Amino acid sequence: MKTGTFFRQAAKILAFLVLVTGIGVTAGHILNTNVRSFDRTDTKKADGAQVLFFGTSQGANGVNPLMLWDEAGIPAYNFCGVGQYIGTTYYVMKDVLDRRSPEVAVLDMESLIRPDDFLTISNKLYSLPVIADLGIRFEMYRDIIGEEPVYMIPFFRYHNRWKEITRNDSRREYYVLGCSYRAEVQSDFGALPEEFLPEAEPVGEREAAYLEDILALAGERGVTLALLDMPCYSSEENEAKTQWVREWAEEHGVPIFEGNRPEAYEACGLTPADFCDDMHLNVSGQEKFSASLARWLSGTFGLDDLRGTQAGLLWEENIKTDRALQADRHVLTASTLDGLLAALTDGDYTVAISLQGEYRQGDSAFFPALERFGMSREAYEAGGSFVWRRPGEWQFASQGSLSYLWTEQLDHDDLVLRGTARRDENGALIPHAELIMDRSDQSKTSDGVNFLIYSHSQKTMLRAVGFDVQGDLQY
């Protein structure tokens, strides 16, 4: 073979391999569902839901389906996504409703009102992994980012906006039946959001078209559509668009849960401390709001309370792991001793508790709470370290007992809970609990009361937390 012919053949083979690689990378980017924290196995729990939620992070942070179940016996699932553009929502709904038949689909209105906040390519693609139908995925790509087809080919990294698309764009934190949690408290809000009642201002033409498409889709699938106006610190301009949505909903007979009105704050019991920023509810706000929403859904749509029924028993079995996750979230976000101890009784935990230094100065805060938790006065006076297992099984019952010399292997080989004894400056034995992880003692010995919390549902050390002698959170 001549040298020139050989190089031409080699160039063709190389070009072919590059093309195949590019197609493979592109297909992997578009079709991949093996994404951390949000894959299709999570969304299977939506199959038995009466109510499904769609929309933005306001809905994802504000609507807790477990609260809907506990308050009104409504099985629900939350498909809201961070920064979810209204066009993306349409395709998510199209895919989800092809596979499920809820009675009600609830749309969070936020991306209609603030569309410019959701128009980046990243936001348009963020909820892509929840779409199981490959045809709908490609349809969404063509419709929403068809004007910039280079985004379908991540192989071309030279594009000047390549960095807008990464694997992170196709991730959403999954916590409990699709809803996520924010623990922060926005401390500089002096009052609840104001109410504006301006003249209506139309939303964008494309956004209005997607809204019409969503209504038509719900009708085709035999699903009742409802709208959700989430609590937020809004502006007069945004409220003008909200007013347009209200008028559109009235014209089309679509019910709205008016969650951003003073009467709604009062009904929910919301305060400024229930917001984590100007647009999102935190954990306490989520629970208050979801309970009120559950009552509205039940009354507006005549949804049956399924608790105690055969369907309800199946749903309870379906959400067991979600209850454990919610209990873990409460443990992680508790900021008071009473709140932490209450959260610990809702889950499956092993807890190493250490009373150190001048902890008795906090007697009014510590002992009544720990006594309700099951600790004896004798153990409290002895101090040192103790181990608690739900439902109230204690070890290291007193300082004088020798039963504290033991070892418990937890679920992972690199996690060991060990009981030992140490001598104080007077030579007295003080019981001590060690949580050994990666051969290192994770115990805390700050003055006050210290907790090391191991979650059996997640098989990991969940949190180290301590309260000082005044009962204030110190780490």
Which one is predicted more confidently, 414 or 162? 414
pLDDT range class, residue 151, cuts 50, 70, 90: very low
Which pLDDT score, from 0 to 100, does residue 418 have?
A: 61
DSSP letter assigned to residue 192: P
Which pLDDT score, from 0 to 100, does residue 444 have?
A: 64
pLDDT range class, residue 171, cuts 50, 70, 90: very low
Which one is predicted more confidently, 388 or 237? 388
Which tokens belong to 62?
């504000």
DSSP states along 398-451: STT-STT-EEEE-SSTTEEEEEEEEE-TTS-EEEEEEEEETTEE-----SEEEE
Which amino acid is residue 38, in one-letter code? F
Partner residues linked to 229 by β-bridges: 258
pLDDT range class, residue 400, cuts 50, 70, 90: very low
Over range 450-467, report the average pLDDT: 83
Phi, psi for 9 (deg, rounded to 5): -65, -40
Q: Has residue 360 got a pLDDT over 80? A: no
Q: Which of 63-67, 280-284, 308-312, 470-474 has the weakest average pLDDT?
A: 470-474
In the numeric block, the tokens 């807790």 are attached to 64
Q: Which of 31-40, 75-84, 422-431 has the weakest average pLDDT?
A: 31-40
Q: What percent of the chain has pLDDT over 90?
A: 23
Over range 146-175, report the average pLDDT: 41
Which one is predicted more confidently, 86 or 123? 86
Residue 466: name the closest of 448, 454, 453 by CA: 448
Residue 416: name the closest of 390, 441, 396, 393 by CA: 441
Which one is predicted more confidently, 434 or 88? 88
Which tokens belong to 145?
């980012």
Gap between the Cα atoms of 351 and 328, Å rounded: 13
Gap between the Cα atoms of 81 and 235, Å rounded: 23
Q: Has residue 280 got a pLDDT over 50? A: yes
Q: Regarding beta strands 429-437 and 415-423, do their DSSP bridges make them parallel or antiparallel, or are they unpaired? A: antiparallel
Phi, psi for 27 (deg, rounded to 5): -60, -40
Over range 254-278, report the average pLDDT: 89
Which pLDDT score, from 0 to 100, does residue 172 have?
A: 36
pLDDT range class, residue 469, cuts 50, 70, 90: confident
Which pLDDT score, from 0 to 100, does residue 293 have?
A: 96
Residues 6+ apart with CB under 8 A from 457: 321, 324, 325, 327, 328, 347, 348
Q: Which of 144-153, 200-209, 314-323, 415-424 has the weakest average pLDDT?
A: 144-153
The string of pLDDT tens digits covering residues 190-227 is 677 677 666 778 888 889 999 999 999 999 999 999 99
Phi, psi for 263 (deg, rounded to 5): -65, -30
DSSP states along 38-55: --HHHHGGGGG-SEEEES
Q: What percent of the chain has pLDDT over 70?
A: 65
Over range 241-249, report the average pLDDT: 91
Gap between the Cα atoms of 138 and 275, Å rounded: 37
Which pLDDT score, from 0 to 100, does residue 78 have?
A: 92
End-to-end Cα, the chain, rounded Å: 74
Which amino acid is residue 157, in one-letter code? R
Q: Which of 95-109, 301-315, 381-395, 408-422 has the weakest average pLDDT?
A: 408-422
Mean of the per-residue pLDDT values for the chain? 75
Gap between the Cα atoms of 347 and 369, Å rounded: 18
pTM to 2 decimal places: 0.75
Q: Has residue 64 got a pLDDT over 70? A: yes
Which one is predicted more confidently, 121 or 206? 206
Sheet holding 256-258, edge to edge: 76-78, 51-54, 104-108, 224-229, 256-258
Q: Which of 67-81, 125-139, 166-180 has the weakest average pLDDT?
A: 166-180
Q: Has residue 183 got a pLDDT over 90? A: no
